[in-house]
Amino acid sequence: MLYPVMWQGDRVSLIDQNRLPAMYARVEIRRSEDMAVAIKTMIVRGAPAIGVAAAYGMYLGAREIQTNKREDFLAQLAKVGDLLKATRPTAVNLFWAIDRMLKTARQTVGSVEAIKTVMLETAQNIQEEDLQTCQAIGDRGLEALPNTPNKLRLLTHCNAGALATAGYGTALGIVRSAWRDRRLERLYADETRPRLQGAKLTSWECAQDGIPVTLITDSMAAHCMQRGLIDAVVVGADRIAANGDTANKIGTYSLAIVARAHSIPFFVAAPLSTVDFGLPDGTGIPIEERDPSEIYQIGETRIAPTDIEFYNPSFDVTPAALITAIVTEYGSVAPADLKTQLQGKPSG
Ligand code: MRU
């Protein structure tokens, strides 16, 4: 199993996801500021993995604070939280994990040193819980998939795998469970322009684990569906509104439209911590815009003229009506039942 975030006794070790698949390298992070840079530059990416990394970033920040006075400490810790929150706007797990760390600090009685100790334990708990949550999502998601006479041919977008979580993955967790239970024939992976998480990460992760994977460009998904090659689509999520509208990697929305046009079920897999019950629908989800160079350049090669405008939204919102079911650690629910069935349940 791949562990993108690891606590190494006094520092955090991250898989440098910008260097995959050409090179597997780990980056050592000792300071909260460096963790903020790692999240912003996508050394670590994927909503749950960002949450885990940010939780450790909060502990690293706490460790740097020099005062023994509780109120001073909490005020400085809030600033660490602001720094980490300013990295990426869409994945709600970032905010969820930072707020959980701040709450833990506030609620811990005792010295500043005692608070720091509890914060490290909390970051480790967030990581461990995510691993268990993803395993539950994988198994519960598999139960929700259609019963086909053949083994399943699944299609995914971006990377919602071990690399995007504490390990195992959400959408790829379902794929992993299907493979383990001999119910998977093959995963089709969209390359996922512009940053190519499908090509660089999902196909690499599957190859590592021996899961049969076929890489396609994003524009080939409709053709594959028309040819009867896909039984179901499974994707992850960065933020799900209370009505089930789901923000995920740019291109997810068009995939959902195409799946609906071919009557192919479309599943969103995410921990309950990805659901933002504070947002009634997807219109309020902040969409990150990234540097235009992600569009006009491939590697070092410029592929578009300079004197034009660019628009590079990193996520889109799939309306709940296009989603067959949302799979969390609690099982699979229709988007319309998300609020009534899951609001208020503990999310780990
Ligand atoms: O920009 P990224 O690579 O962080 O985007 C990742 C995704 O969109 C994933 O599908 C999502 O975070 C779910 S990861 C389990």
Average pLDDT, the chain: 97
Tell me if residue 55 falls in helix, strand or coil.
helix
Confidence band for 1, pLDDT divided at 50, 70 and 90: confident
- 196-239 pLDDT per residue, tens: 999 999 999 999 999 999 999 999 999 999 999 999 999 999 99
Tell me if residue 13 falls in helix, strand or coil.
strand
Place of tokens 């939280």: 81
Which residue's CA is minimally distant from atom 2 of ligand 1?
46
> Which pLDDT value is given to residue 299?
87
Task: Determine the Cα–Cα distance for residues 122 and 97; give it in Å rounded to an integer.
Answer: 10
H/E segment holding residue 239: strand 239-241
**Gap from CA of 83 to ligand 1 centroid (Å):** 21
**Gap from CA of 46 to ligand 1 centroid (Å):** 4
Contacts of 239 (CB under 8 A, 6+ apart): 47, 90, 91, 92, 246, 247, 274, 276, 279, 285
Which residue's CA is minimally distant from atom 15 of ligand 1?
160
In the predicted model, what is the mean pLDDT of residues 315-342?
98
The pTM of the full predicted model, rounded to 2 decimals, is 0.97
> Which pLDDT value is given to residue 306?
85
- Write down the domain spans for the chain: 5-133, 143-342
Pick the CATH number of 143-342 from 3.40.50.300, 3.40.718.10, 2.60.120.380, 3.40.50.10470: 3.40.50.10470
Vertex 209 angle, CA 196 and 274, to 5°: 55
| Best of 248, 267, 287, 291 for a ligand 1 pocket test (most atoms within 8 Å of beta carbon) | 248
Task: Determine the Cα–Cα distance for residues 314 and 323; give it in Å rounded to an integer.
Answer: 20
Q: Is 316 among the residues known to form the active site? A: no
Task: Please answer whether residues 153 and 234 qualify as being in contact, where contact means their C-beta atoms are separated by less than 8 angstroms.
Answer: no
Confidence band for 330, pLDDT divided at 50, 70 and 90: very high
- 126-136 pLDDT per residue, tens: 999 999 999 99
**Gap from CA of 49 to ligand 1 centroid (Å):** 9
**62 has pLDDT over 80:** yes
CB of residue 92 inside a 6 A radius of ligand 1: no
* CATH domain 5-133 topology: Four Helix Bundle (Hemerythrin (Met), subunit A) (1.20.120)
Which amino acid, one-letter code, is at 4? P
Q: For the chain, report the end-to-end CA distance as a whole number of angstroms.
A: 20
Place of tokens 């833990």: 104
List, in sequence order, the alpha helices (H) in the chain: 32-40, 47-64, 70-85, 92-107, 112-144, 171-180, 197, 203-209, 221-226, 252-261, 293-296, 338-342
Task: Determine the Cα–Cα distance for residues 145 and 138; give it in Å rounded to an integer.
Answer: 11
CB of residue 165 inside a 6 A radius of ligand 1: yes
> Which ligand 1 atom minimizes the distance to the CA of 288?
1
238, 245, 276, 316: the active-site residue: 238
